[in-house]
Amino acid sequence: MRVLVWNEFRHEKSKPEVAEIYPDGIHGAIADFLQSEQIEVRTATLDEAEHGLTEEVLNQTDVLLWWGHVAHDEVRDEIVAKVHKRVLEGMGLIVLHSGHFSKIFKQLMGTTCDLKWRVADEKERLWVIDPSHPIVEGIGEYIELEKEEMYGEHFDIPAPDQLLFVSWFEGGEVFRSGCTYQRGKGRIFYFRPGHESYPTYHNSQIQRVIKNAVKWVKPESGMMTNYGRSEPLETISDKELK
């Protein structure tokens, strides 16, 4: 399986406290724990040519993970269109944390994807809503993070196909933190935790969810659909039936 981890890679360059947590970037940290004999992992960042998302790269990607925050508007629309096309064709997409505001997620959802938020050192408890789903395999009743950024409802997204996590924060807010969708042939998973100021992606349970999600969103083999004008189907004549 070929996995591509995409990250803006801006906070790590401008904020020493973020670089200390993720010296190789958030994309590097995620790529490290995903790498295995079964998974070939590459990374791409915003400031690379075509944001590292050339047509050749996308055509060789089974699953794309997306982390963005401060530079959503800098992602070129023609690149978003290419990613959108690949998702509809079957490429899996995992959108992480503030990637909810990315152009690609908003285009796929068809809504503003807006929400309430608060930067504070608050405890987050992610409750597992559907313990039978493969994405939460190996996770108990909840995941607890000592410090995270708060996201709160209302989260302006379509009703998820499946709701896997609901977060509770110390301030009392709740949030739909693990949502699955299908668009065309592509599976999508949105996973909320992952603010750059906290070591969330070093947490073994968060890593487990993302590993499970990569396996779940990967493309399924199957017959390609031909669209457009169609000739009448051949039918069995009455004589042949007799």
- What digits encode the pLDDT tens for the residues 178-194? 999 999 999 999 999 99
Distances (CA, A) of 86 to 2, 31, 210: 14, 21, 20
Distance, C-alpha 166 to centroid of its chain: 16
Q: Per the domain annotation, does 41 fall within a domain?
A: yes
Q: Per the domain annotation, does 229 fall within a domain?
A: no
**Cβ atoms of 93 and 34 closer than 8 Å:** no
Q: Per the domain annotation, does 212 fall within a domain?
A: yes
Q: Per the domain annotation, does 129 fall within a domain?
A: no
Pairing of strands 63-67, 40-45: unpaired
pLDDT in tens, 107-164: 999 999 999 999 888 999 999 999 999 999 999 999 999 999 999 999 999 999 999 9
pLDDT in tens, 198-242: 999 999 999 999 999 999 999 987 666 777 887 787 766 655 655
Domain count within the chain: 1
Domain with 93, as residue range(s), is: 2-110+177-222
Give start and end residues of each alpha helix (H) in the chain. Answer: 11-14, 16-21, 25-34, 55-59, 77-89, 103-109, 204-217, 238-241
Phi first, then psi, for residue 149 (nearest 5°) are: -80, 140
DSSP state, residue 169: E
Q: Per the domain annotation, does 162 fall within a domain?
A: no
pTM over 0.85: yes
At 74, the pLDDT band (50, 70, 90 cuts) reads: very high
**CATH of residue 95:** 3.40.50.880
Question: Is 144 buried (19+), middle (13-18) or exposed (0-12) by CB count in 10 A?
Answer: middle
Q: What's the mean per-residue pLDDT of the chain?
A: 94
Q: Per the domain annotation, does 164 fall within a domain?
A: no
SS3 187: strand
Mean pLDDT of 69-96: 98
SS3 202: helix
Q: Per the domain annotation, does 144 fall within a domain?
A: no
Q: Per the domain annotation, does 161 fall within a domain?
A: no
Mean pLDDT of 70-95: 98
